[in-house]
Structure 1
Amino acid sequence: MEPELGLELAAEELTAVLNRLRRAQGQIAGVVRMIEEGRDCEEVITQLAAASRALDRAGFAIIANGLQHCLAEENGARPQTQERTRARLEKLFLSLA
């Protein structure tokens, strides 16, 4: 059975990720308002890009923490298990690329 890639973040890391996600949530709400108000396209795209970067950073923080957790757990695991976990983590990283 493959190990779970559960979300186990330390309190400090969890706070940082949640702050990034809340910031992105606010930026997306702002983008919606800007579009509804007929704001300039360049302003909308700038805010949308900022929200995208915030989401990417949150995702990378979660994956990096998962990688650290998995490596610590699998230090003594069989090579096949380590390879499957590595492949799963690589797929997660690429999903954000």
Structure 2
Amino acid sequence: MKFEDENVVDEALVRLRKVQGQLAGIIRMIEEGRECREVMQQLTAASKALDRVGFKLLASQLEFCLRDEAAARESGYTLEEFERMFMKLA
């Protein structure tokens, strides 16, 4: 099933591009020999940003399927599968 809410998708793509920039910065930090504390702080921020994108996308899809019973049936996703996907992010 594709993502239904274009606004959520657009927002996710913007956030993912920011994370991509963060990761490039982290790579540079490591290559430059920056302090472990600084690198870990940036890694934590990037990781949390990725988690937020994942939760937002998944929550949006779940909401769509719960609002539209026909879409839920057609999607092939069960509530248990949504729960497993949420737990993978946790």
TM-score by length of 2: 0.86
Unaligned stretches of 5+ in structure 1?
79-83
1:44 equivalenced with 2:39 (yes/no): yes
Tell me the SS of whatever aligns to 1:52. helix
Over alpha carbons, which structure has the higher Rg?
1
Give, in whole Å, the separation in 1 of the partners of 2:30 and 2:68.
47
Q: Which residue, out of 8, 21, 30, partners 1:13?
A: 8
Q: Which residue, out of 83, 93, 96, partners 2:89?
A: 96
Residue equivalent to 1:23: 18
Residue equivalent to 1:59: 54
Give, in whole Å, the separation in 2 of the partners of 1:35 and 1:57.
25
Q: CA deviation at 1:15?
A: 2.1
Contact 1:21 1:58 in 2 (8 A): yes
Aligned-residue RMSD, C-alpha: 2.2
1:74 equivalenced with 2:84 (yes/no): no
The structure with the largest helix share of the pair is: 2
Q: CA deviation at 1:62?
A: 0.4
The runs of at least 4 aligned residues of structure 1 exceeding 4 Å deviation read none
Give, in whole Å, the separation in 1 of the partners of 2:84 and 2:26.
30
Contact 1:20 1:57 in 2 (8 A): no
Give, in whole Å, the separation in 2 of the partners of 1:42 and 1:49.
11
Give, in whole Å, the separation in 2 of the partners of 1:66 and 1:18.
16
